[in-house]
Amino acid sequence: MKKNIAYLLIGFLAGALLFNTLAADASSSIKTLISHPIKHLFINYNKYDVQESDQLINYNGKTYVQLRFMTDTLGQFVSYDSASKSIHVYFNPCNEYSYLMMPQRPDGVTSVREERTLCINNKALLLPADAFLDGVMISDGVGVSEHLPAFMITRWHSTITIGRTGVVIRENIGEQDKEPFNFLKPYITDYLK
């Protein structure tokens, strides 16, 4: 009986020693993995300081970057769709040369309804999931050309046409809709009379 307890104790101590060695080895591997932290990131000759919380990691000749850090640094939008378990990254249209750049589907067809980002009043806007771009006004006969292009946005049973300058050109609010374009308040500069 005493022999069995001694063997059990020796086995327990050997297991504990082995586990402790593996934990220490894993800890040193992690430290080795991030022992060469990246302090600066250069994009098109622009220098960005990398904070400790946004640390980039070098491992096996590859650099791993946090998606949120890259999208924030580049002024892009990122969203997560829990239903499809998908991450979507959208460009910031105010950083581009055009006010609107429609996405191109694999079949080569472009659709304005697939556009999720707009530049209004020099501010980037990511449309809510239940709103969509219904069209783009590029010319008019009513004297609003200084506000063009204008974006025709539909949400629920309501539509609004808002110029790139933030001026609301037209608005049609459905009876049952309560403040469908509340998300546009920071972008609206005036209403066309």
pLDDT digits (tens, 9 = 90+) for 72-118: 777 777 888 888 888 888 777 776 544 444 455 555 555 677 778 88
On whether residue 20 sits in a domain, the answer given is yes
On whether residue 115 sits in a domain, the answer given is yes
On whether residue 23 sits in a domain, the answer given is yes
Would the pLDDT of 168 be above 90?
Answer: yes
Domain count, the chain: 2
pTM, entire model: 0.58
Beta strands in 52-121 (DSSP E): 57-59, 62-64, 77-81, 86-90, 117-120
Share of the chain above pLDDT 90, in %: 24
On whether residue 114 sits in a domain, the answer given is yes
On whether residue 73 sits in a domain, the answer given is no
On whether residue 97 sits in a domain, the answer given is no
Round to the nearest angstrom and report the end-to-end CA distance of the chain: 98
On whether residue 2 sits in a domain, the answer given is yes
On whether residue 99 sits in a domain, the answer given is no
What band does 2 get if pLDDT is binned at 50, 70 and 90? low
Would the pLDDT of 166 be above 80?
Answer: yes
Expressed as residue numbers, the domain containing 155 is: 110-191
CB neighbour class for 175 (10 Å; exposed up to 12, middle 13-18, buried from 19): exposed
How far is it, in rounded angstroms, from Cα 183 to Cα 84?
24
